[in-house]
Amino acid sequence: MASLTGVSLKLTPLSSSFKPTQVPFLGVSNVNSVSFPSLTMRPGSFRIRISCAAKPETVDKVCKIVRKQLALPADSSVTGESQFAALGADSLDTVEIVMGLEEEFGITLEEESAQSISTVQDAADLIEKLLEKKGA
Amino acid sequence: MNIRCFPRKFSSALPPLVPLQLPSPMETHLWYILPNEVKSVALLNQYSELLSPCERENVNRMGGDQLKKRALLARALVRTTIARYQTNCQMNPRSLKFRKNIYGKPEIGIDVEGKQRKIKNDIIAFAQRYFSPCEVKLLTAISDSEIQRQEFIKLWTLKEAYVKALGKGFSAVPFKTFTIRFKASTIRCFHLPGNSVSEASEVIVESSDDPKNLPNNWQFALLEVAASHYVAICTEKDKIVGGEANRPMKLTVRKTIPFVEDVCVSGTDAVLVLGGIIEQ
C-alpha cells in the first residue's frame, strides 16, 4: 500500500501495455513510504491500492495534540510516521490523545479506534474519514 | 503466549541466572525493576544481547535515551524472569521465542502508573467520557483536586488490569460497561499463621451489561510500590468447593536487577496495600 502526504497524485493508467518493471509515476511532493505488491503478474490482474491520506493541516493538528499530551521537548521530531508508543505514550496517554482529538475536531471515536491507531498518520486519516462522513 | 526453549551454553560475559521456584497455584509473583538503579552501560549492553533482533529494533525506535532504556529493561526483565522459572533445563534467556496466539487467555492482568502523573484533560470530563456513571459520581464527590487525581489514576489502573485479565481487549470491554469500587471487607479470611494479611477495603467489579461474565470471579490488588507507582493486579479467584470463605490473594513482590540482585520487598514499606485482600 502506498502512503502519501501530498494532496495531488498522478498515475499512469493501468493497461495491458503496463510493463512489470515500470513504477507508476506519482506526482507528489513527498512520499513517506512506498511499497508495491510483488510484480509477478499476468496482464490485467495487477492491482494497486492507494490510501488517500489526510491533509497536512490535520496531521499538524494531531502532532500538536500529541506533543502537548506527551510533554515533548520542542526539538523532538513528531511527524505523520511517528508511532505513539515510540514517543513514550502508554495506554492512558493514547486515550487522552483520542479525547483531545475528539474535542479538537468535534468527532467521536469508538473504543476500537483507540486500539487501532498507532501512528500520527493513522489518527489523522481516521479523523478525516469521520469528518467526511459528518460533513457529507 | 507460547514459549519454546532451546537449552544452550551461556555466554561467558554474564553469570548464570539464579533459578526460581514456580509459584504454587493461585499464587502471584510480581517483579519490578527501577530504571534509576541500573547505571552500568556494560550491563545495559549485556541486556541488549538477550533481546531478539525484532525487540532490539523496537527499543531503538523509541525516541530518546530514557525511553530506550525503559524499553530495554522491560524486555530484559521479561526474558530473564521467565527463563529463571524454567526448572527443567538451564535456560538461556536469549533462546526464548515469544509467539502471540489468539487462544491465550491470560487470567491475570496488571497495570502500572506513576503516582505523580499529570492528567492533561479535565478529570471529570474524561471520566464522563470513559468511566461508568457510578465512578463519575465517586470522583466528582472528591473536592481536593490532588486526591481526585490520585483516585482517578488508581481507578484507571484497576480498570486496565481487569480488561487485561479478561483478555478480550479494550474495545470488547469498554470501560463504561463496568464499575470498580471499594467496599469494606466483611469476609473472613483464612491464611497461614505468620503471613501478614492486609485487610484494606475489598475491590469489587460490577458489570453493567454482561450477565455471562461473572465479575465475582475476579479479585484485585491495588498497591503503591516504591512510593512512586500505583500497581493494580487482577486475577481469577480461587474457587473453594463447598465453602463460603474467600481466600486472600497470595502475592510475593520482588525488586530485581537481572543478573545482579533480587530483593523480596513483600511486607516492607516498598509495597503499600491500598486495596484488596492480600496475603504477602
Binning pLDDT at 50, 70 and 90, where does residue A33 land? very low
Split into its structural domains, chain A has a count of 1
Boundaries of CATH 3.90.470.20 in chain B? Answer: 107-279
Residues 6+ apart with CB under 8 A from A59: A5, A79, A80, A120, A121, A124
Decide if A84 is inside a domain: yes
Other Cβ atoms within 10 Å of B25 Cβ, number: 7
Distance CA(B225)–CA(B223), nearest Å, equals 6
Q: Do A111 and B129 touch (CB under 8 A)?
A: no
State which residues of chain B have pLDDT below 50: 1-12, 103, 241-244
Confidence at residue B276, expressed as pLDDT on a 0 to 100 scale: 92
Residue carrying C-alpha cell 502532532: A63
A82 chain-B contacts, CB cut-off 8 A: 63
Residue A101 lies in a domain: yes
Question: Which of the following is catalytic: A60, A75, A90, A122?
Answer: A90
CATH of the domain at A98: 1.10.1200.10
State the pLDDT at residue B172: 82
DSSP three-state, residue B166: helix
The range of the structural domain enclosing residue A114 comes to 56-135
Pairing between β-strand B249-257 and β-strand B27-32 as defined by DSSP bridges: parallel
Q: What is the pLDDT of residue B210?
A: 62
Measured between beta carbons, which residues in chain B are less than 8 angstroms from residue A76? Answer: 63-64
In a domain, A111, yes or no: yes
pTM summary value: 0.79
Residue A63 forms part of a structural domain: yes
Predicted confidence at residue A18, as pLDDT, reads 38
Residue A123: how many CB atoms within 10 A of its CB?
29
Our answer to whether residue A90 is catalytic in this structure is yes
In a domain, A35, yes or no: no
ipTM, two decimals, is 0.81
pLDDT for A23: 42
Predicted local confidence at residue A2, as pLDDT: 37
Q: How far apart are CA A62 and CA A80, in angstroms?
A: 9
Strands (E) located in B139-217: 178-183, 197-199, 202-207
Return the residue in A69, A95, A117 with the most chain B beta carbons within 10 A, the one to mutate for interface testing.
Answer: A95
Taking any CB pair shorter than 8 Å as contact, residues of chain B touching chain A are: 61-64, 67, 111, 113, 117, 119-121, 125-126, 129-130, 156, 160, 169-171, 174
pLDDT for B89: 55
Greater pLDDT, A116 or B33: B33
Fold of B107-279: Ribosomal Protein L22; Chain A (3.90.470)
Averaged pLDDT score across all residues of chain B: 84
